[in-house]
Structure 1
Amino acid sequence: MTTTVFGHRGIPEKYIENSMLGFKYLADRGEAVEFDVHLTKDLIPVIMHDEKIDRTTNGSGYIKDFSYEELKSFHLINDVNREQQLVQENEGIPTLDDVLAVFSDTQIQLNIELKTDNFDYSGIEKIVLNTIPHFHFDQRVIFSSFNIDTLDRLYAIDQTLNLAYLSEQPVNDFSHFMQAHYLNALHPGLEGVQDGDVIQRVWTVNEDGELAKLIDLGVAGVFTDNFVHAMQIRSCRG
């Protein structure tokens, strides 16, 4: 199996994470993307990793406490740990519609994580699923979450979805667990990679040795902060 390389929040080693610049760069050069969805107070799905806007914007507070119009007053900033990141001046927090438009009519594989492990945003599953049909994707969208209830609700809405469970640690009796929740794959952290016949996409893999090991192992996918470099490593392993 060829390991698919997912740009984790775009390409944070070059452009600030979850920025339109990073997503457009990936759309032109990559093969798969992963990003996180939250809901604003007025139920607009927006793209950011953290529940709070403090780390990657010039603002402070929880996404759930802002309307989208209020969020528009803030802009993305460089992560203090990655001062070399490029960022477009006054680029705002993108909506789900913004990001889907970038990848619509491309061959990019999408992994949309519903970020409900800390806040179980009411209705997020239906809102996200209702947004997807407005765009055209050749490949099935992967929906993932750390919250198994979110995945169960997604399945209740649409039994054809490609669902993946996120976990830091190995999942006990994963075969039964996956059947019980109608899952297509597991998305483990590096410490949670399973032995056995299971589709796995592993996060977040940035070290060359770990990338090479997982590619040789034939995992279905890796999530990485520099998809260009990871694809080069994969090419060398082939």
Structure 2
Amino acid sequence: MQLRALGLSLCLGSCLGLLACGGGDEASAADGDTGTDASTDERGTTGESTETETGAETETETGETETGETGEPPGNLFLSDELLNIAHRGGASLRPEATLIAFENALAVGADVLEFDLHASSDGVIVVMHDDTVDRTTDGSGAIKDMSFDELRMLDAGYTFTTDGGETYPYRGMGLQIPTLEEVFEAFPDAYYMIEIKQAEPSIVADLLPIIADHGVGERLVLASFEQITLDEIRAQDPAQVTTMSAPEMVDLFSMGAEPGYEPPALFIQAPWEVVDQELVDVAHGHGIKVHPWTVNTEPLMEELIGYGVDGLITDDPALLDSLLGG
């Protein structure tokens, strides 16, 4: 287990180093963007209850509603036994990542959870973007925290999106903007969220938590960060808010998870798919921990990880995962 923990630490360090450069979190060269256009069919399972985007209940074959005779609301999706389709950056293969149209499309093609990342502008507005600069996905350049919100809003958030290797850029000039966190919550008030706080300095936690509370999404949201200091701050300010494990905490799970007396600091882990195997899943599940690998973009890899019993897959292509799950 100690050797496995060392391997996990090295792999996490490599993956996070690539992430800091704004890329490299694709599953592999063969596991990259599909470039396919997604269908707009919503997932439904015959004979089982479903829920619309607005939260309206539908009936099962037996005529009972999803809430049952008691009228109690359904349980939290994150704590269910359902394998979750988690749209990485809103489904970055299908629409310009981390935009409102990406999130809308992800839900339409079968995503259960919207995943995205947070930074703050120089004047303190929390915005949705993966990188700490605007260079890769927009027509601008510079660090987000050095730019005002007005400056960020002038950028074209669909500028670099392409599905054909740069032959065409179908969303350039379409008016796509970098969204604020509040805009996402307002546009999709019933959605489930997996949100990674990318910006550690200066901290945005104190500004973030009231936004979550004001929109009443705390129970449908998991906060993530690979930075221990960020997770410690969240847990200190709002102990009820669910978080993932940090990178050091995941290493601890691998090195100590099978030992008596181990107590997990969180019940969710997001890990690179490369470090997820049957042993990790079994150890995690032994402590009631949910396992969500990233970034999983090909059908063979999806099938392999599902075979291990993971609890959700973080994917750039939620339409592909939905079709694999029978959506």
Tell me if 1:229 matches 2:320. yes
Q: Which residue number corresponds to residue 175 of structure 2?
A: 90
> After superposition, what is the alpha-carbon deviation per residue over 1:126-157, rounded to whole angstroms, capped at 9, x for unaligned?
21111112324484310001101111110001
Tell me if 1:126 matches 2:209. no
**Residue 74 to residue 14, structure 1, CA distance change in 2 (3 Å):** same
Which structure's residues are more often strand, by fraction? 1
So what's the TM-score if we normalise by structure 1? 0.86
**Residue 111 to residue 202, structure 1, CA distance change in 2 (3 Å):** same
**Residue 168 to residue 35, structure 1, CA distance change in 2 (3 Å):** farther
So what's the TM-score if we normalise by structure 2? 0.64
Shift, 1:12, TM fit: 1.7
> After superposition, what is the alpha-carbon deviation per residue over 1:141-188, rounded to whole angstroms, capped at 9, x for unaligned?
100011011111100011111110254996234448x846x3121110
- In angstroms, what is the RMSD of aligned CA positions? 2.6
Shift, 1:24, TM fit: 1.5
> After superposition, what is the alpha-carbon deviation per residue over 1:186-223, rounded to whole angstroms, capped at 9, x for unaligned?
11001222241232111000011111111222211111
Residues 122 and 146 of structure 2 are in contact (CA less than 8 Å); yes or no, is this contact kept in structure 1? yes
**2:116 alignment partner, SS class:** strand
Alpha-carbon distance in 2 for matches of 1:230, 1:131: 31
> After superposition, what is the alpha-carbon deviation per residue over 1:81-138, rounded to whole angstroms, capped at 9, x for unaligned?
754675371211111111111221x2x320010003xxx2323112111111232448
**1:36 alignment partner, SS class:** strand
**Residue 48 to residue 139, structure 1, CA distance change in 2 (3 Å):** same
**1:34 alignment partner, SS class:** strand
Alpha-carbon distance in 2 for matches of 1:79, 1:28: 20
2:297 is matched with which residue: 170, 194, 206?
Answer: 206
Residues 5 and 32 of structure 1 are in contact (CA less than 8 Å); yes or no, is this contact kept in structure 2? yes
Residues 199 and 220 of structure 1 are in contact (CA less than 8 Å); yes or no, is this contact kept in structure 2? yes
Larger Rg: 2
Alpha-carbon distance in 1 for matches of 2:240, 2:209: 12
Q: How does 1:1-150 map to 2 (within 5 A)?
A: 1-29=81-109, 30-76=111-157, 77-79=159-161, 83=166, 86-87=170-171, 89-104=174-189, 106=190, 108-116=191-199, 120-137=200-217, 139-150=219-230
Tell me if 1:219 matches 2:310. yes
Q: Which residue number corresponds to residue 171 of structure 1?
A: 251
**Residue 66 to residue 179, structure 1, CA distance change in 2 (3 Å):** farther
Alpha-carbon distance in 2 for matches of 1:13, 1:168: 30
Once superposed, which parts of structure 1, at least 4 consecutive aligned residues long, lie more than 6 Å away? none
Q: Percent of counterpart pairs with the same letter?
A: 27
Alpha-carbon distance in 2 for matches of 1:86, 1:101: 26
Residues 169 and 191 of structure 1 are in contact (CA less than 8 Å); yes or no, is this contact kept in structure 2? no
Residues 128 and 178 of structure 2 are in contact (CA less than 8 Å); yes or no, is this contact kept in structure 1? yes
**Residue 167 to residue 202, structure 1, CA distance change in 2 (3 Å):** farther
Residues 16 and 85 of structure 1 are in contact (CA less than 8 Å); yes or no, is this contact kept in structure 2? no
**Residue 85 to residue 142, structure 1, CA distance change in 2 (3 Å):** farther
Residues 205 and 224 of structure 1 are in contact (CA less than 8 Å); yes or no, is this contact kept in structure 2? yes
**1:7 alignment partner, SS class:** strand
> After superposition, what is the alpha-carbon deviation per residue over 1:25-74, rounded to whole angstroms, capped at 9, x for unaligned?
22344311100000111111001111110010000010010011121221
Structure 2 portions without partners, runs of 5+: 1-80
Q: Which amino acid aligns with 1:157?
A: Q
**2:245 alignment partner, SS class:** strand
Q: Bigger CA drift: 28-37 or 132-141?
A: 132-141
Tell me if 1:192 matches 2:272. no
